[in-house]
Amino acid sequence: MATVSFPSLSREETSILATLRQASGLSRAELARRTGFGRTLLEARLDALRQLDLVSQAGMGESSGGKKPELVSFRKEAGYLASVDLGQQTLAVGITNLNAEIVVQITAPTELRKGPDAVLSEVVGLIEEAIVQSGVGREQIWGIGMGLPGPVDPQSGRPISPPVMPGWHAFPVRDYLERELRWPATIDNDVNVMAVGEQWAGLGRSVEIFLYVKTGPGIGCGVVCRGRIYRGANGCAGEIGHSALPSNDGVCQCGKIGCLEAFAGAKALARAAEEMARAGQSRYLASIFRRQGRLTAEDLATAVGHGDSAALELVGRAGTVIGEQLSYLVNFFNPSLIVLGGGVADLGDLLLASVRETIYRCSLPSATKEIMVQRSVLDDEAGLIGAAAVQIVDRYRLVNFT
Ligand SMILES: [Zn+2]
């Protein structure tokens, strides 16, 4: 029987697939040991999964005396997932296999302010292009997942008063994609999606309680509690970018004054770098500014790489401010891991060191005793991996899927 889109699976079947997906092949004895299932139950569930084409034989394992055992593996090419990472200025789409491994990805500039109709029609066009490039048949794709930069009501798949997406409030994003592409769609906040990506394929594997902090044009936090994304009462959990800082008077994109994002977000840092260039505080930045007429967070990163003292100070200060906000979260939530991802995290070791130092300095020693603060290992792919994985994780209620 051919695989159908998101077949209904029992808890045991889900658990077998979650165990198999991390290994290239396991013997039945090893699978029984890892899942804790008896042989009869395991055989029956494997039979059902074989019927769905989701497991296959993967050669023979090493013998421990007798006959060599047959190995079983997860057929991650039994289906594919479409994946969308919609940022404030960039749109990335991808096609992945069922293990959320990217087969094809395409990135294009976008402008959220054009509104949902214009932007979502770009999404659909780019997905169609990705399908062609991937060589995957349309009917092999099980569903589509998408992360967008604002709070989302998980029930309806509609953005809820997103601070940086004018015209998107309550727009039926999920229904639009389902109608245009004819697959089931899952819509979530971009940072939640990245946290799922980190949990699926990055540093968050088998970590029960962690925070994923995205520092790009916006700053947000994905909260993973007991292996699950915590979305809050209204889907707004983790919107730390719009917490006001007492010492900041910058105007934020959301219209409020003093938000963390208006000080340490990529756009705010680029603006501060331009001011330093104009004021003659950094010769290095001034020369790029003269040439380009503007500066970006990437230019700031280059200046840091060259050891420019004004750039070093600015990035150090941004790290301190982000670290102060995170220290409140550490004292409140006691995570064992904080992962930093997104464009500003590319400012590198200096930002990370400054965030880490501030967290240690401003949090309770007992809360930081075993905490790890690390850069994401998934780079720009966390969003696409997560938007694929979230479809599986949510549907099959996976927790700590290793
Ligand atoms: Zn704000």
Q: How far is the CA of 24 from the centre of ligand 1 (A)?
A: 45
Q: How far is the CA of 221 from the centre of ligand 1 (A)?
A: 14
Task: Look up the domain containing 265 and give its range.
Answer: 205-377
- Over 60: is that where the pLDDT of 73 sits? yes
Q: How far is the CA of 218 from the centre of ligand 1 (A)?
A: 9
Tokens coding 281: 């505080």
Pair 302, 195 in one domain: no
Burial profile 37-51: b = 16 or more Cβ within 10 angstroms, e = fewer: beeeebeebbebbee
Say what the pLDDT of residue 15 is. Answer: 93
Tokens coding 368: 């930081």
How many separate domains does the chain show?
Answer: 3
Query: What's the whole-number mean pLDDT along residues 151-167?
Result: 91
Strands ordered across the beta sheet of 80-86: 102-109, 90-97, 80-86, 141-148, 185-189
Say what the pLDDT of residue 164 is. Answer: 85
- Over 80: is that where the pLDDT of 401 sits? no
Residue carrying the six token digits 């023979």 = 60
270-308, pLDDT tens digit by residue? 999 999 999 999 999 999 999 999 999 999 999 999 999
Q: What percent of the chain has pLDDT over 90?
A: 78
14-65, pLDDT tens digit by residue? 999 999 998 889 999 999 999 999 999 999 999 999 999 999 988 777 777 7
Average per-residue pLDDT for the chain: 92
For residue 347, the SS3 value is helix
Separation of alpha carbons 122 and 125, rounded Å: 5
The CATH number for 279's domain is 3.30.420.40
Residues 194 and 212: beta-carbon distance below 8 Å: yes
Separation of alpha carbons 261 and 206, rounded Å: 30
Dihedral pair phi/psi, residue 376, rounded to 5°: -60, 145
Residue of 319 and 23 predicted with greater confidence: 319
Q: How far is the CA of 196 from the centre of ligand 1 (A)?
A: 24
Say what the pLDDT of residue 65 is. Answer: 74
Separation of alpha carbons 261 and 318, rounded Å: 10
Evaluate whether residue 117 is within a structural domain.
yes
- In the chain, DSSP finds a helix count (H) and a strand count (E) of 14, 15
Q: Determine how many CB atoms are found less than 10 A away from the CB of residue 62.
A: 8
Q: How far is the CA of 163 from the centre of ligand 1 (A)?
A: 7
Pair 358, 389 in one domain: no
Say what the pLDDT of residue 370 is. Answer: 86
Q: How far is the CA of 45 from the centre of ligand 1 (A)?
A: 50
Separation of alpha carbons 239 and 243, rounded Å: 8
325-345, pLDDT tens digit by residue? 999 999 999 999 999 998 776
Pair 166, 315 in one domain: no
Pair 144, 212 in one domain: no
Residues 228 and 399: beta-carbon distance below 8 Å: yes
Separation of alpha carbons 231 and 280, rounded Å: 45
Separation of alpha carbons 201 and 146, rounded Å: 17
94-136, pLDDT tens digit by residue? 999 999 999 999 999 999 999 999 999 999 999 999 999 999 9
Separation of alpha carbons 92 and 107, rounded Å: 4
Say what the pLDDT of residue 3 is. Answer: 56
- Over 80: is that where the pLDDT of 228 sits? yes
Q: How far is the CA of 295 from the centre of ligand 1 (A)?
A: 22
Pair 365, 386 in one domain: no
Pair 291, 185 in one domain: no
Q: How far is the CA of 175 from the centre of ligand 1 (A)?
A: 28
Pair 37, 148 in one domain: no
Q: How far is the CA of 151 from the centre of ligand 1 (A)?
A: 13
Residue of 1 and 160 predicted with greater confidence: 160
Pair 127, 55 in one domain: no
Pair 217, 187 in one domain: no
DSSP structural state of residue 233: S
Evaluate whether residue 1 is within a structural domain.
no
Nearest to 183 by CA among 113, 84, 259: 84
Q: How far is the CA of 269 from the centre of ligand 1 (A)?
A: 15
Evaluate whether residue 136 is within a structural domain.
yes
269-279, pLDDT tens digit by residue? 999 999 999 99
Say what the pLDDT of residue 276 is. Answer: 95
Q: How far is the CA of 252 from the centre of ligand 1 (A)?
A: 5
Say what the pLDDT of residue 1 is. Answer: 44
Say what the pLDDT of residue 253 is. Answer: 85
Q: How far is the CA of 313 from the centre of ligand 1 (A)?
A: 24
Evaluate whether residue 2 is within a structural domain.
no
Using alpha carbons, list the distances in angstroms from residue 155 to 232, 233, 254, 266.
13, 12, 24, 31
